[in-house]
Structure 1
Amino acid sequence: MGVGAACVSALAWCSALSCYDIRQRRLPNWLTIPGAVVILTVAACAGRGTPAWCGAVALVGLYLVVHLVAPAAMGAGDVKLAAGVGGLTGAFGYDVWVLAAIGAPLLSAMWALVAVAVVRRPNSSVPHGVSMCTATLAALALVVFSP
């Protein structure tokens, strides 16, 4: 699979996850787990298995700690999604992983601020999976489409 096909597949997967998360406020196992398995398998076949696994394990570890400390702040679906997006960004390099890992919580925080300040909904929840997918795709785009 070429880089272009991988990007289109990642875009389709992230779009499906984001739409589901916005509508249902949850990330289903039937999208998160197979996506992570495919990403880690393709990365291994492309010779990027070790960085992909390192990225997946590191991001799952971070998200799992947050989930265990504050389960209302981050759901288990976000932890499972972390395996896929962590593996995907890890396969493209440490800098891509860091950019996505930092970008996702920043996007969620900005989205929450807009929800409170503009929409005036102080108790509204923000689906973090959308931010995870957006940050991942943005970080990948910076690497794939940069000269």
Structure 2
Amino acid sequence: MAEDLIVTRTLVIPAAELSERFSRSSGPGGQGVNTADSRVELSFDLADSPSVPPWLRSRMLGRLENRLVNGVLTVTAGENRAQLQNRAAARERLARILRDAAAAPPPVRRPTKPTRGSKERRIAEKKRRARTKDGRRGGGWD
């Protein structure tokens, strides 16, 4: 499964930049639990990757700073019993993380003043609520 990892239409990570490590998964697995290396660790060196443009790399490094170890992003998948399924899950997880980190920042919100209509609606709702609560004030419960 040495294929390039497609993150977005414009960002493709070559297979040569990904490294996979296999180990034994924890949990139940029957007779093959001690022999099958089905857990997958997929690593990508984001800090030194030539396939990520510098302007995008700085954005991704900033957003992923808590997940990186020396500039390397590592994803683990071990929920399936088959190594092939875990490899596919790890690749999808890595692509999703990189896609989210590469997303454009939201547009800057320019604060505006409330409109006259919204102010009037707010005051009308406050008065309606006050009348409701006023009706609850009854006589004395002595």
Q: TM-score, normalised by structure 2?
A: 0.31
Q: Whose helix proportion is higher, 1 or 2?
A: 1
Q: TM-score, normalised by structure 1?
A: 0.30
Q: Whose strand proportion is higher, 1 or 2?
A: 2
Task: Please tell me whether Structure 1 or Structure 2 has the larger radius of gyration of its CA atoms.
Answer: 2
